[in-house]
Structure 1
Amino acid sequence: MSPAVPFGSRLAAALRAHGPLCVGLDPAPGTLARWGLADDVEGLRRFSGTVLEALAGRTALLKPQVAFYERHGSAGLAVLEQVLADCRSAGQLVLADAKRGDIGSTATGYADAWLDPASPLAADAVTLSPYLGYGSLAPVVEAAAAHGGGVFVLCLTSNPEGASVQHARPTGSSAPSVAAAVAAQAAADNARLSPDGSPGPVGLVVGATVGEHLEATGVDLAAVGGHLLLPGLGAQGATAADVARHLGGLGPLLVPSASREVLHAGPDPAALRGAAGRLAQDLAAALR
């Protein structure tokens, strides 16, 4: 599809075509060692090329973890640029897991880096942190809408430390939790930017293991109107059944995400492809 088609619609089509799965490209030192690769730029290049050979054009969404490329400096970022370019050539949707968040001109700079098609780092979407205030993300959200891209905003994450911020409410107040306020503001942006009711450019990151906290925090995911990235499958403890139990009613908007659950099948491309295909089938069956 042309990039002029909004990201939400492109992702919806990819999920229908390939199944409800995002695969993370996480070249952590332990994964490189497991594959028999050195923890250097050449190992990074070989890892990335193998994952793309196995999965590009066959997976709804690929998600390179930017930190594992940044740790190798400018040469690592050059590998990431090539990954992004190869995904574009293969027609593969790609989400840069950069978790950026800043204010004013700096936020605009991040928008230019990750969402402007002229940038060597251009991706279809980027992850964002809203904890300088959701409104600080406006330059990136507007850039996403202008370029047919998307953002995924951290909302209710599975790391234990996240609860101290995301579950918080003003003392003695009936105001919504921080996570619920983030979800409501994302919903407002999607209603404004996608008035026809198609999935909007603002998605949320909601841990696949935190479904039991949705009611307590008052997060209304059904109202968001954008896709929901659900990290935490497999190695972090969540199963397809967990996703279906807590979030099954939102099936078409769900983007369950796995990294080690697929990557540990490597480095054989056929084995990687098989692991991703089986997991996508399991998720589709659970959500059906």
Structure 2
Amino acid sequence: MTFGTRLDAALAARGSLCVGIDPHPALLEQWGLSVDAQGLAGFAAVCVAAFADLAPVIKPQSAFFEQHGAEGIAVLEGTVGAAREAGALVVLDVKRGDIGSTMAAYADAYLGPAAPLAVDAVTVSPYLGVGSLEPVFERCVSHDAGAFVLALTSNPEARAFQSARVEDGRTVAQVVVDELAGRNAGATPLGSFGAVVGATVGSVDAGVTTSLAELNGPILAPGVGAQGGTADDVRRLFGDALPHVLPSVSREVLRHGPDVEALRDAVERQLAEFAFLRA
């Protein structure tokens, strides 16, 4: 089964939500955990126990594991495996972007079926050119994996790049969406190549003038909850693409830890809030 097929089935079965596992040092301290690999392991284990069997998609932020060195990467490997065993799809938030053999090595590290960090999908950056991501796209096809490509993010610094126009008048964000739509063409029920579009961008029209439904792939929408994005924002921004939207929340849920039931209740509230996406 392709990633798009698996994702569509997961959203139908569990609802539309991506829950981040972001073990920021401040959160470790808030949970009464040590800011080291041991605390990291405790944090991740609680997250998996609380919602890996509930949320359709789990998104570990690789950087917060990497900063603890080899021990942190070992915790990440275990977390990915445990989350997938509980039935969640895992999108690893790594935002890699490079060229040639280096990009191929990144693709093999995360999308190769036998790789220690094998996941269902990764986030990638297209700002060396969408074509530089070809090794990732190839692995997605050969290994039934997925990729979420940065398209229209809500950080203020992004506007100068993503809204810049190429020779034919399209914005860079539009070029990214068009490239992904071409790769998703004909896929049913959903393509495996998704776009990252922030839930707090204000207006999609500023960067993408075509309907995002034409992407025919998933839309990862970070920024929900603590960062200010709401269900109303999601409804307003994505229009006829709503069934393909995957709202991403982390701090809004994680602030309820380390109590497992409180975390689980927070995820259930978010699932209920976004139930309209698949109605």
TM-score by length of 2: 0.96
2:173 to 172, 179, 186: 179
| 3-state SS in 2 of match to 1:158 | coil
1:230 to 212, 221, 226: 221
The alpha-carbon distance between structure 1 residues 240 and 84, as it changes in their structure 2 partners (threshold 3 A), is: same
Question: What is residue 4 of structure 2 aligned with on the other side?
Answer: 8
8 Å contact from structure 2 (residues 12, 278) kept in 1: no
Offset at 1:40? Answer: 0.5
| Structure 1 position 64 matched with structure 2 position 60 | yes
**CA–CA distance in 2 between the matches of 1:177 and 1:220?**
14
The alpha-carbon distance between structure 1 residues 211 and 284, as it changes in their structure 2 partners (threshold 3 A), is: farther
2:118 to 117, 122, 128: 122
| 3-state SS in 1 of match to 2:78 | helix
| Structure 1 position 107 matched with structure 2 position 103 | yes
Residue pairs, 1:129-278, within 5 angstroms:
129-170=125-166, 175-191=169-185, 195-215=186-206, 217-218=208-209, 220-278=211-269
Give ranges in structure 1 of 5+ residues lacking alignment: none
Question: What is residue 27 of structure 1 aligned with on the other side?
Answer: 23
| 3-state SS in 2 of match to 1:154 | strand
2:275 to 258, 262, 284: 284
Structure 1 runs, 4 residues or longer, greater than 2 Å off: 195-198, 213-220, 285-288
| Superposed CA offset, 1:168-191 (max 9, x none) | 114xx5510000001000111111
| Structure 1 position 43 matched with structure 2 position 34 | no
| 3-state SS in 1 of match to 2:20 | strand
| Structure 1 position 54 matched with structure 2 position 45 | no
Offset at 1:216? Answer: 5.1
**CA–CA distance in 2 between the matches of 1:209 and 1:109?**
33
Offset at 1:26? Answer: 0.2
TM-score by length of 1: 0.93
Offset at 1:198? Answer: 2.4
Q: Which moved more, 1:176-185 or 1:214-223?
A: 214-223
**CA–CA distance in 1 between the matches of 2:204 and 2:191?**
24
Number of positions where the alignment pairs a residue of Structure 1 with one of Structure 2? 279
The alpha-carbon distance between structure 1 residues 174 and 143, as it changes in their structure 2 partners (threshold 3 A), is: closer
**CA–CA distance in 1 between the matches of 2:211 and 2:128?**
22
The alpha-carbon distance between structure 1 residues 63 and 28, as it changes in their structure 2 partners (threshold 3 A), is: same
Offset at 1:114? Answer: 0.4
Offset at 1:110? Answer: 0.7
8 Å contact from structure 2 (residues 243, 277) kept in 1: no
Offset at 1:214? Answer: 2.3
1:92 aligned partner, one-letter code: A
Residue pairs, 1:68-83, within 5 angstroms:
68-83=64-79
